[in-house]
Amino acid sequence: MFTKLEEVVDRFREVEGLLSDPTAVANQQKFRELTREHASLAEMVEVYSRYRKVCADIDGNRELLKESDAEMRELAQLELPGLEARKAELEEHLKLLLLPTDPNDEKNIILEIRAGTGGEEAALFAADLFRMYSRYAETRRWKVEILSSSEADAGGYKEMIAMISGVRVYSRLKYESGTHRVQRVPETETQGRIHTSACTVAVLPEVEDVDIDIEMADLRIDVFRSSGSGGQHVNKTESAIRITHLPSGLVVSCQDGKSQHKNKAQALKVLKSRLFEQMQAEQDAATAADRKSQVGSGDRSERIRTYNFPQGRCTDHRIGLTLYKLDQIMQGSLDEVLDALATHYQAEALSRQQGE
């Protein structure tokens, strides 16, 4: 571990030198890569520096135990337990920081929410989930852009697709993929019975051109007139785009923008992200002996969370976490849930690494 940490420190200093070189700014892509790498290494270097300081303090106190001055020996003896505990704490922190990082953690995401079982109530819950994630994004100063949406007749959404961009968006939201279940009394229910509905959520990393290459010959692009709300503009122009990826059969439609070119660009973003997810899933299936052990597998068929409105309860079934603060969670206070998920999966990854 310490050999690896010394290598990290050496690389951190090397990157600092490269960033200070005036010629580095000339290549903007390379400069951005170096900046991201510098940021990703900074915490590890800082924690390792504190670890070495604590180790030096422990060595110093042990030397003081050999002193003839009884008062100095007593002070050194009193400090040692706290220093040893701090050392162990920092060592565990370093082990977590040394875990292999997800290459997608720094990326923006494509968020897809679809109404599932439950009819009109599922569509309303889809809107609630989108509002929850949007408000959480506001607290993180992330940008939310709707790429495509399909409204339900009674309100809510049959489907909502949005881009969320900002700092480490995928890192925070990657465990949200799965089936989200809601239990509550619908407004149309006259006898007060609790109904159960569900929505599926998919969190896909935004894919850059270097990540996946699509041949235009493999695409069928259809232009059609937008449907749904949109005023007079909808009835006059054929700006909606449907792209079919012929080899995979994946179909993406986008009609929210008034510009045909913008709709096409957004549809291609979604298509690339779905193809990238499909490619990763195939790789995972080929290499993982136990799919359940994968971190952030994103299996949308898995029921991951229940939102029980009568009891004000939110339960994440993967980690057995139950919080009686549903109102706050639906208003975007997701950090407690997301932090617990990240800690759980980090601990699992660390356990697997130590067992190898």
Question: How would residue 210 be classed by pLDDT, with cut points 50, 70 and 90?
Answer: low
Domain boundary among 252, 286, 320: 286
Q: Are residues 11 and 84 in the same domain?
A: yes
CATH number, position 153: 3.30.70.1660
Mean per-residue pLDDT, 199-225: 81
CA distance 277 to 175: 14
Q: Quick check: 117 pLDDT over 50? A: yes
CATH number, position 282: 3.30.160.20
Q: Are residues 255 and 310 in the same domain?
A: no
Mean per-residue pLDDT, 185-202: 85
Out of 230-234, 281-285, 335-339, 346-350, the most confident range is: 335-339
pLDDT of residue 297: 39
pLDDT, the chain, mean? 83
Q: Answer for the pair 309, 189: CB distance below 8 angstroms, yes or no.
A: no
Out of 27-36, 217-226, 291-300, 323-332, which region has the weakest mean confidence (pLDDT)? 291-300
pLDDT of residue 106: 84
Q: Are residues 117 and 206 in the same domain?
A: yes
CA distance 3 to 15: 18
Residue range of the domain that includes 280: 216-286
Domain boundary among 244, 260, 286: 286
Q: Are residues 121 and 153 in the same domain?
A: yes
For the chain, what is the domain count? 3
Q: Are residues 20 and 82 in the same domain?
A: yes
Provide the 3-class DSSP secondary structure of residue 306. Answer: strand
Q: Are residues 232 and 207 in the same domain?
A: no
Domain boundary among 286, 317, 336: 286
* Structure token digits, residue 281: 């899933």
pLDDT of residue 15: 87
Q: Quick check: 291 pLDDT over 50? A: no
CATH number, position 67: 1.20.58
Task: Using alpha carbons, select from 52, 23, 18 the residue that is nearest to residue 38.
Answer: 18
What 8-state DSSP symbol labels residue 21?
S
Mean per-residue pLDDT, 281-302: 49
What 8-state DSSP symbol labels residue 302?
S
Residue 292 lies in a domain: no
310 Cβ neighbours under 8 A, 6+ residues apart: 183, 184, 185, 194
Q: Are residues 75 and 154 in the same domain?
A: no
Q: What Å distances lie between residue 25 and 12, 167, 249, 274, CA to CA? A: 18, 21, 42, 33
Q: pLDDT tens-digit profile of 33-46?
A: 788 788 878 888 99
More confident residue, 304 or 243: 304
Residue 297 lies in a domain: no
Q: Are residues 311 and 174 in the same domain?
A: yes
